[in-house]
Amino acid sequence: MISGKHKLAQPDPDDVPKAVINRLSLYLRELQHLLRNGKTTISSSQLGRLFGFTDAQVRKDLTCFGQFGHPGIGYRCEELVVAIRRILGTDRVWTVALFGVGNLGRALLGYKGFSAKGFQIVAAFDADPHKVGSMIDGVCIEPMDRLDDVVARQQIQLAMITVPAAVAQAVADLAIEAGVAGIVNFAPVTLSVPDDVSLVGVDLATELEQISFSVANRDKSG
Amino acid sequence: MISGKHKLAQPDPDDVPKAVINRLSLYLRELQHLLRNGKTTISSSQLGRLFGFTDAQVRKDLTCFGQFGHPGIGYRCEELVVAIRRILGTDRVWTVALFGVGNLGRALLGYKGFSAKGFQIVAAFDADPHKVGSMIDGVCIEPMDRLDDVVARQQIQLAMITVPAAVAQAVADLAIEAGVAGIVNFAPVTLSVPDDVSLVGVDLATELEQISFSVANRDKSG
């Protein structure tokens, strides 16, 4: 019934809440950490306890995608790592283009965490002719009029947008026209994209809300 | 029973899953948007539908903190905005110090979304003597040996850490010793902090996992 090659259930990605995917990311990171420390199996309650989730929550998150537990054993860490990477789509290499080489763009070009997960920034675009032609962290800055050409030649799948808010929609439109299938938007504006293009908006301030919630409520109870 | 000043339930912040807080952030943003467009009330199912959540999920998220719905009306947008801001602790101004003025640090100093939510970066620290003394987005870069002094004088509550991974723990220890109560860590390393200090780790790659999941599963079903 359960073999090395799981049959993964394939729910419509739009039906899976973002929070479930975030939890799978967490589980994956922890399972990889456990594996490096020589642990080979883990129960749903042990896995949940690491994050303050119930065992039922862990099982529910995973059951969306298939049957991974083994009676009397729990989860085999290595098996679950392979399965979650397949679910998340990080069992392959994704080619990414960055749009906008300002401070945040430069920071993302130098961010080590992306390539470890299979995301390779292979091209960067900027409207500033002074930046075009220079190399940052091994990536050459291209002008926007080379977009179609570069996306086709490098087979770019995803776009990361760090341009100013005022031009983000126009840049997204061009990237989609050139063929990218998914966009991670860091510009502080809501983009609209066609149904067949995936979009994630990153709002750095939500992380601060997490910490203000925690500190504010600690203060009250203290 | 329900008045302008809600009596908020005060759960232990450690008992509230991060995902609930993230959803409150989402609700808040959308409610503020609705208010600007003149909408005064909304039902839990309408609010949930905007994000693909069930009405039960919305009600459950809010019931942790109090009773906000009005029979036959739903939620009053303005009332709920006030309540969520109070829950999140963003009904006040938070003073933040930034540690590490590299590309990411510079990007965060220039990020407009923070001050709109009451997070004011009032100080920045860097170990590089060439950076110390310069001003970026109205903030003066200070040397680390002025830390205690600056934190006390500016009454700094939160730290944002964007130093290299190798020195992040040492910087966090110093910030805590100087008196900060919460840390947002962007360095790609897990920090350990005392129980009475709040910590959020930001992993920019999780946003990319969200998009690879979506694109990968779209591909399969296509």
Domain limits at A65? Answer: 13-88
* Half-sphere CA count of B169, side-chain side, radius 13 A: 7
Distance to chain A for B210, nearest Cα, Å: 6
Residue A215 resides in a domain: no
Are A79 and A173 contained in the same domain? Answer: no
pLDDT in tens, A75-116: 999 999 999 999 988 899 999 999 999 999 999 998 877 887
Q: How far is CA A175 from the centre of its chain?
A: 19
Are A17 and A100 contained in the same domain? Answer: no
Are A98 and A201 contained in the same domain? Answer: yes
- Which residue from B23, B103, B205 is facing A103, i.e. has the nearest CB? B103
Chain A positions in Cβ-Cβ contact with residue B61 (cut-off 8 Å): none
Tell me which of B51, B206, B221 to substitute to probe the interface with A (most A C-beta atoms closer than 10 Å): B206
Could you tell me the two tokens for A29? Answer: 């990171």
Measured between CA atoms, the residue of chain A closest to residue B185 is A207
Amino acid at A55: D
Residue B222 resides in a domain: no
Are A126 and A153 contained in the same domain? Answer: yes
First to last CA, chain A: 52
**Which string of DSSP letters, residue by residue, matches B14-60?**
GGS-HHHHHHHHHHHHHHHHHHHTT--EE-HHHHHHTTT--HHHHHH
With a cut of 80, say whether residue B208 has pLDDT above it.
yes
Are A108 and A180 contained in the same domain? Answer: yes
**Do A188 and A165 contact (CB within 8 A), yes or no?**
yes
Are B135 and B167 contained in the same domain? Answer: yes
With a cut of 90, say whether residue B132 has pLDDT above it.
yes
Compare A200 and B77 and report the one with higher pLDDT. Answer: B77
Whether residue A215 and residue B198 make contact (CB cut-off 8 A), yes or no, is yes
Q: Distance between CA A115 and CA A118 in Å, rounded?
A: 5
What pLDDT band is residue A130 in, cutting at 50, 70 and 90?
very high
With a cut of 80, say whether residue A58 has pLDDT above it.
yes
Say if pTM beats, i.e. exceeds, 0.80: no
- Which residue from B21, B113, B221 is facing A10, i.e. has the nearest CB? B221
Q: Distance between CA A22 and CA B8 in Å, rounded?
A: 28
Distance to chain B for A5, nearest Cα, Å: 16
What pLDDT band is residue A4 in, cutting at 50, 70 and 90?
very low
Residue B214 resides in a domain: no
- Which residue from B13, B108, B207 is facing A202, i.e. has the nearest CB? B207
Are A36 and A103 contained in the same domain? Answer: no
Residue A217 resides in a domain: no
- pLDDT (mean) for A137-159: 96
Are A107 and A199 contained in the same domain? Answer: yes
Whether residue B204 and residue A108 make contact (CB cut-off 8 A), yes or no, is yes
Measured between CA atoms, the residue of chain A closest to residue B200 is A211
B/e letters for A194-213, b = 16+ CB within 10 Å, e = fewer, are eeebbbbebbbbbbbbbbbb
Domain count, chain A: 2
Locate tokens 């929609």: which residue?
Answer: A169
Residue A123 resides in a domain: yes
A166 phi/psi in degrees, rounded to 5: -60, -25
Are B82 and B99 contained in the same domain? Answer: no
Mean residue pLDDT across chain B: 88
Mean residue pLDDT across chain A: 88
CATH of the domain at A165: 3.40.50.720
Task: Indicate the SS3 state at residue B124.
Answer: strand
CATH of the domain at B52: 1.10.10.10
pLDDT of res. B48 = 85
Are B78 and B42 contained in the same domain? Answer: yes
- Which residue from A88, A202, A214 is facing B13, i.e. has the nearest CB? A214
- pLDDT (mean) for B39-49: 91
Are A37 and A77 contained in the same domain? Answer: yes
Whether residue B212 and residue A53 make contact (CB cut-off 8 A), yes or no, is no
**Do A113 and B203 contact (CB within 8 A), yes or no?**
yes
**Do B74 and B31 contact (CB within 8 A), yes or no?**
no
Residue A27 resides in a domain: yes
Strand partners, A75: A42
**Do A26 and A88 contact (CB within 8 A), yes or no?**
no
Q: How far is CA A39 from the centre of its chain?
A: 26
Residue B182 resides in a domain: yes
Q: What percent of chain A has pLDDT over 70?
A: 95
Distance to chain B for A121, nearest Cα, Å: 12
Torsion of CA B70, B75, B78, B82, to 10 degrees: 90
pLDDT of res. B190 = 79
**Do B47 and B58 contact (CB within 8 A), yes or no?**
yes
Q: How many CB atoms lie within 10 A of CB A148?
A: 12
pLDDT of res. B176 = 97
Whether residue A216 and residue B89 make contact (CB cut-off 8 A), yes or no, is yes
- pLDDT (mean) for A195-203: 88
Residue A31 resides in a domain: yes
Which segment of A119-123, B50-54, B146-150, B160-164 scores lowest on mean pLDDT? Answer: B50-54
Distance to chain B for A87, nearest Cα, Å: 7
Q: Distance between CA A172 and CA A193 in Å, rounded?
A: 8
**Which string of DSSP letters, residue by residue, matches A111-145?**
-THHHHTTEEEEEEE-S-TTTTT-EETTEEEE-GG
Measured between CA atoms, the residue of chain A closest to residue B93 is A212
The residues, ordered by sequence, that sit 6+ positions from A217 with a Cβ below 8 Å of its Cβ are: B10, B11, B12, B13, B89
Are B132 and B190 contained in the same domain? Answer: yes
What pLDDT band is residue B220 in, cutting at 50, 70 and 90?
low
Q: Distance between CA A141 and CA A134 in Å, rounded?
A: 6
Chain B positions in Cβ-Cβ contact with residue A29 (cut-off 8 Å): 203
